[in-house]
Amino acid sequence: MTLLIPDDILQASRLSERELRTEIAVMLFEKEKLTLGQASQLADMGYLEFRHLLASRQIPLHYDVEDFEQDLRTLDELGRS
């Protein structure tokens, strides 16, 4: 799925496209809508880089067996692409 953000919305946010993607990824992770792996992928960051970003914002990690299994499925799908 492709999400198009109108340029005027992007300009109003005063964020670059990458910064907006990162902010969305952080928010969805914080609300437990995305796993750590999914959020780092959305933010177009490496796993560790995204973890460091969360730590710098004092956002606790929530990572359980279900998240781990989802990340394994995501990695498997990426490997097939």
Domain ranges of the chain: 15-80
For 39-66, what is each residue's pLDDT tens digit?
Answer: 999 999 988 899 999 999 999 887 778 7
For 1-31, what is each residue's pLDDT tens digit?
Answer: 788 889 999 999 999 999 999 999 999 999 9
Q: How far is CA 69 from CA 16, 74, 76, 81, in A?
A: 32, 9, 11, 19
Residues 6+ apart with CB under 8 A from 30: 59
Sign of the Cα torsion 50, 55, 60, 63 reads positive
- pTM of the predicted model as reported, rounded to 2 decimal places: 0.73
Structure tokens at 11: 């300009």
